[in-house]
Structure 1
């Protein structure tokens, strides 16, 4: 359950606060502002809406004038000093409509302001689309740089999830999707809290509640708890986390920096922390819940569009995004707050979307990081996307002297592959070693924290051939490492769904390909890239048991017959880079010295049943789905097996770069006398530094140059 902290929760302080009015604004310029009318399509004012801000320490606030539900929406704009208005406003977090309208967010922002309007008192909010002159790049850059302070100083962050889709069809507010979803969130949190209390954890969660306009305060049904995996309430909970708001990049810092946040969906309101906590609970208990979801089809339509259809066991992206935001936010009080380097943040937020690709960088600058790289980057909307990415790469290299960001290189956007059924060419204006952070890529193979099973090049310090800034300017990055052999065969990843089962003669397949315990263990490690479904490194024995459990159930047999894995299996007790038999014995492998090539030690179906005891095939399926989405399986010239970028081709080279935890795939670029960085890979045989210590491999400088072709 993780480290938990006690706290009291007063729902009345989190929802419906400040009804009596908003603190007085301290304006820095003229107090009387022209009235303007907001509609779904435009803002009509009698004079220009924007005047020049006195300095970077000023910002605009939007005053929503009181009015009845059917009255026109009237507002005033105020120019105010940031330091004089701490806590005097609420910040609005919402989703821009596609196409980036020049002044608002279209209908969605209009409906949010309409929903927030009070009948008898004004309301003061900060809404980025209106309070920043979007037509002025210089002002946009300046205001985005100060957005962290704007969010931290807001009295509340109001999360507008949109209108309730049931509002026009369902008259009873309690029976609408928003109410059912919020009730489900309350039930999940309450059940988790009760379980924690029964386990004698020091936890005081309080009673999760939500509020409906005109109906008052409600809580979740006690009968719809976390353990009711087949409950129809899950469909509504999934509908909640599938709201577009959960995919917007800007909401990450809007939640992470908020002192308080209130989620509003139609007529319903609830503290956002319950939504974030529920996402964390569901994610942790995913394997208990997902069978019920799949059985009732509740998951349909809520998976990322770039995933294969059979990836139904993966946590929906909106829920993962909510979990991520919760774990890095000031709002969460039950777990340790997570902190990441700026490069890690860029990778962990790749699935979030923004209209302007430069905002992939600028939208995260307000967040605290472990390496403070963001303090070296200033928003500049006058610069091109390639220019922004170059500045980020230069800042990472110069300030950290670390090459971990190379693991974030993925040249193929998985969303585009799924959408167009083809590989979209990468940006040719960037060198291959600078990540294209706007691409949706697979989960990074290198772990966030150092681990002895991911130490391919960590026994040597990272080395650069040229000065960091010169390397960036020249589009060439010289790194030191060892060059291994080439890729001889590749294969696409087969289905990971339990609906695909093998019904042939298992013993015939095992004998035909000479599979031994050792070869199956290496195959298991390659398929899952050495990690569990949770993304953490996993021990070899447990991985083999899980894989065997899958095979016994008739799943993943395609992996035994692939060209990339089915030829030239190494003998038991030895491997290509000299790992000792002692390390194999520790994992329970055969020690008779015989191997597949001599016909001895071949695994049978009965052997698999014995090996599978204690294993969990479903967890292994999830691990494979997580590791292999957007990747290809490959075999090297010396029969090492691995998983690498989807762009991997026969003839590519494997290398280990000093100072990095995983190997990489590179491709010769003769015209520029260097190599294109294709991306990171996982090869079980060299993850402990074997290649670095092997005198048979060439130590050399590797020049990483142009974009992939």
Structure 2
């Protein structure tokens, strides 16, 4: 039998003062109402702020209140100004002091040598503008790449001055220092509770108002990143990032059945694809500076927050092992050059090249990555590659953007023809591919600045599916040689294997000219924005010629290369596709050694031996003989010297 204690009386009113309820006895003294002994009178009232149903989260309100108090305190502090200049081999390091929560970020700046650093430090790679979470709130679907690029114009004023960089503030050497909100969050995620951290942050360690110092620091950037212990890539807050990181780490353990089952429990296939897509849409992947920051790093750690991080190899595994189903029609996130998956593949190859001590010489990589990247200053689309190439252009933020683009391309053309052949052991086909990639990336219909038509304009982003290159991500085989153009070359061979040297003439700084050989195929007589009677499609191959590639047939059939292009007809009955802006009187030409034909606009003047043209764009011609080199092979004697201006 179970013994049950007698029930206590409900009433606490007793006639006998000694007969006291046990709840008021010594064993229950914490409930005493007496003012003597143990009581609650000396304790302050504290509301635990536990939320009721359907009420706001008091924790969030409390954090916001503390943040406002912190910002108010910083608003009364004198603004920071740089009192020294970082020159020679020296650069600044940020000493991030310990702290937690909403306490102000407190940093001291010290100098270090880029050649022989005495301290171990890290570098931070992040996105200056929109944070990951803010970007997720603004965008949806699978067209994030173009939307990230469209943000460039709206955020170009950010970082215009050191004290006007953003709407957040920290302490630097005891003074108020304005930073972007995303950097503030990154620093809070890195800050330790008890230990200091040495870290290089471009927004703080470089005087952004001093153009001379900016240029000098960019010139030693390769040493700063190579000497760092690691580079921390802060992607920002992303919902569900914990599960994605867990999946990435465990998926590297192998493909045994037990591991596969465990991975499905972490993230089912559909949720996994959605999570990867959301990650690849983050603005960090579209920033131009992250390319060199990652490629030059000895070790890369990708972070979503204080406890959520993975390696670059984990990221590569996610993108490689989870393919994207081909889309019907034009998809910007897959069919544009420099899409995020392709960027990761190219960057990974460049990382391998840098670890082998080889400065990459492939202009195709620079063009694809830089033209698809965002930069507050357009000069950075060149200078960000300074430590990774053999370019002799010294970073100078006072020079004109058009002049910089012209100098870089002239340098590359001369180097590929003369120097790189010996230095980098480039084969003749590799040199041809790199030179032709310059021309296919140029054209006056793809320029914002007034440049010679054969000079690419890095401010004009890719907006049409390319004909001269593939946009798929070559993630399975990452070569370390400078053969990106060969592995990502299109199926077309319009110009055959024969090529004459490209020669830069009239070495005028503002308007150099390029001499090359081409076959003038035909003149355009009509253009149309609608499909003509003869819908462009690869013609059946003639006897003895290569069959039509399934890739080519798919491109035309699903409308990928049709999207955004204008139809044209020629005098000889050819039908084709080109960039809007062509008109009657333009000519279709085949460049010897090129992959696809181009559209040229004749100009008055020039000698009989070399007519003047403006390069407009690449084009597609509905003819197997034209697109696969039969015409170039049989009529190469018709080739003539032309001059592009």
TM-score by length of 2: 0.66
Post-superposition offset of 1:412:
5.1
SS in 2 for 1:83: coil
User: Which deviations, in whole Å up to 9, do the C-alpha atoms of 1:283-316 show, x marking residues without a partner?
Assistant: xx323xx68xx9xxxxxxxxxxxx96x6687599
User: Which deviations, in whole Å up to 9, do the C-alpha atoms of 1:25-53 show, x marking residues without a partner?
Assistant: xxxxxxxxxxxx99999996687434122
Post-superposition offset of 1:323:
3.5
Q: Distance in 1 between matches of 2:76 and 2:439?
A: 46
Q: Distance in 2 between matches of 1:669 and 1:459?
A: 26
Post-superposition offset of 1:264:
1.4
Alignment of 1:95-114 (within 5 A): 95-97=127-129, 98=155, 99-101=157-159, 102-103=161-162, 105-114=179-188
SS in 2 for 1:345: helix
1:583 counterpart (528, 544, 549): 544
2:190 counterpart (111, 116, 124): 116
Q: Distance in 2 between matches of 1:40 and 1:646?
A: 56
2:90 counterpart (58, 66, 76): 58
SS in 1 for 2:313: helix
1:477 counterpart (514, 518, 528): 514
Does 2:324 align with 1:286? yes
Change (3 A) 1:400 1:662: same
Change (3 A) 1:63 1:490: same
Change (3 A) 1:398 1:463: closer
Post-superposition offset of 1:224:
5.5
1:562 counterpart (514, 525, 532): 532
Contact 1:280 1:323 in 2 (8 A): no
Alignment of 1:49-88 (within 5 A): 49-53=82-86, 55-85=87-117, 88=120
Post-superposition offset of 1:330:
4.2
Change (3 A) 1:458 1:680: farther
**What are structure 1's unaligned runs of at least 5 residues?**
1-36, 165-175, 199-206, 208-218, 295-306, 414-425, 494-560, 574-580, 589-614
Post-superposition offset of 1:349:
3.6
Q: How many corresponding residue pairs?
A: 490
Change (3 A) 1:366 1:696: closer
Q: Distance in 2 between matches of 1:622 and 1:246?
A: 29
Aligned to 2:404: 388
Change (3 A) 1:473 1:278: same
Post-superposition offset of 1:246:
1.1
SS in 2 for 1:433: coil
Larger Rg: 2
Post-superposition offset of 1:239:
1.6
Post-superposition offset of 1:392:
0.8
- Stretch deviating more after TM superposition (337-346 or 89-98): 337-346
Change (3 A) 1:40 1:564: farther
SS in 2 for 1:681: strand
SS in 2 for 1:286: coil
Contact 1:464 1:480 in 2 (8 A): no
Change (3 A) 1:132 1:444: same
Does 2:136 align with 1:136? no
Post-superposition offset of 1:85:
1.4
Q: Distance in 2 between matches of 1:429 and 1:313?
A: 30
Does 2:643 align with 1:703? yes
TM-score by length of 1: 0.60
Does 2:623 align with 1:681? no
Aligned to 1:407: 440
Q: Distance in 2 between matches of 1:385 and 1:476?
A: 19
Change (3 A) 1:159 1:313: closer
Aligned to 1:612: none
Change (3 A) 1:658 1:321: closer
Alignment of 1:531-550 (within 5 A): none
Q: Distance in 2 between matches of 1:482 and 1:86?
A: 61
Does 2:605 align with 1:665? no
- Stretch deviating more after TM superposition (483-492 or 87-96): 483-492
